[in-house]
Amino acid sequence: MLGLARYAMNGRRQAIVASMLSGMVPLLNLISPAIVGLVMLRQGGTAAMQVAIWAVLPLLGWAWVGDLTPLILLLGVLPMAAVLRRTQSWQPALLVSLLVGAGSEVALRLRPGVLEQLQTQVGNFLAQSATDQPEISAELLQTTLISMFGVMHMMVAITCLILARWWQARLYNPGGFQAEFHALRLQPQVAGLLLLLFLLAGFGSTALAGWAMYFSLPLLIAGIAMVHGLVKVKGWSGMMLLGFYLLLMSPPIMQIVAVFALIDSFYDFRGRLKRRDDNEN
């Protein structure tokens, strides 16, 4: 994929060709938003919009036949990349990803046929695989599906931006992405606000009902960055990260990582360990 990014950076025409061709292929169409994001990060808004005008065409086709994901990702990655380029900070970019979740919900609600089809498929699967489980109401199932739809698009949009930033670093600033990602840490007031919004959403009776997972995702990403940074500071083997990602497949572990990211915003584990190691040396 680095070769594709290198080709796209050879010129405006190459970027348009790379984004359009990748946008036409199933699964590979998820790469198209990352290419446009790379153009935004490297060349700015004018160049990115000139590429996006063409890149969006095949994605509109996918949306027409029911696959909204590539289009949502393109519309989400563009502002996230613009914010990251302007601020040189992942914190505001992660906060912008909340809009991707909200936009995904709106897009799904505007396509009731897609939502109904998705609800039917999931309902049939649950009916066949969980015969001894209590029946889930249609309303609860629909609410859960909409929230999961939004969270999935937030996560993939963040992944696309990470890929675009990694491409940029590999092509123009080797090692820059690693240092930037390892330093990712939410400010205490931002982490506290996310916790407050998470608790309000968890009550289910507020306007934020169903958005609890949205507010925990930036904390999860910050927690992943924290673990990467700790492994680097301590000089541990890369196998530690492999084991960490295997554990991260468990929802309770994801919650624990998010909690530690919240604590880290106040305590700064990486900074304290680095200062202690420097003093010992």
CATH code: domain of residue 16: 1.10.1760
In angstroms, the CA 166 to CA 103 distance is: 26
164 and 206 share one domain: no
Instruction: Lowest mean pLDDT of 75-89, 105-119, 253-267, name the range.
Output: 105-119
> Which residues does 18 contact at the CB level (< 8 Å), separation at least 6?
4, 7, 8, 35
Q: Looking at the domain assignment, is residue 130 inside a domain?
A: yes
pLDDT at site 109: 83
In angstroms, the CA 25 to CA 27 distance is: 6
81 and 160 share one domain: yes
pLDDT at site 111: 80
Last residue of a domain, one of 130, 145, 173: 173
In angstroms, the CA 86 to CA 44 distance is: 9
pLDDT at site 136: 66
Q: Phi/psi at 34 (nearest 5 deg)?
A: -65, -35
Q: Looking at the domain assignment, is residue 67 inside a domain?
A: yes
Q: Give me the domain span that covers residue 187.
A: 183-281
42 and 167 share one domain: yes
188 and 280 share one domain: yes
pLDDT at site 20: 96
Q: Looking at the domain assignment, is residue 129 inside a domain?
A: yes
Last residue of a domain, one of 173, 191, 213: 173
Q: Looking at the domain assignment, is residue 75 inside a domain?
A: yes
Q: Indicate the pLDDT class of residue 273, thresholds 50, 70 and 90.
A: confident
Q: Indicate the pLDDT class of residue 126, thresholds 50, 70 and 90.
A: low
Residue range 273-280: mean pLDDT, rounded? 78
Checking if the pLDDT of 154 tops 90, the result is yes
Last residue of a domain, one of 173, 205, 235: 173
Q: Looking at the domain assignment, is residue 178 inside a domain?
A: no
Q: Looking at the domain assignment, is residue 84 inside a domain?
A: yes
Quick: pLDDT tens for 56-98: 999 999 999 888 999 999 999 999 999 999 999 999 999 999 9
Q: Indicate the pLDDT class of residue 141, thresholds 50, 70 and 90.
A: confident
235 and 265 share one domain: yes
Q: Is 25 left (phi over 0), alpha (psi -120 to 50) or beta?
A: beta
35 and 83 share one domain: yes
Quick: pLDDT tens for 10-41: 999 999 999 999 999 998 999 999 999 999 99
164 and 238 share one domain: no
Q: Looking at the domain assignment, is residue 255 inside a domain?
A: yes
Residue range 138-142: mean pLDDT, rounded? 71
pLDDT at site 58: 96
Checking if the pLDDT of 133 tops 80, the result is no
Which of the two residues, 1 and 102, has the higher pLDDT score? 102
pLDDT at site 203: 77
280 and 162 share one domain: no
pLDDT at site 120: 78
Residue range 181-208: mean pLDDT, rounded? 87
Checking if the pLDDT of 139 tops 90, the result is no
157 and 199 share one domain: no
143 and 245 share one domain: no
38 and 99 share one domain: yes
Instruction: Lowest mean pLDDT of 179-188, 215-224, 271-280, name the range.
Output: 271-280
162 and 29 share one domain: yes
pLDDT at site 216: 93
The number of folded domains in the chain is 2
Q: Looking at the domain assignment, is residue 23 inside a domain?
A: yes
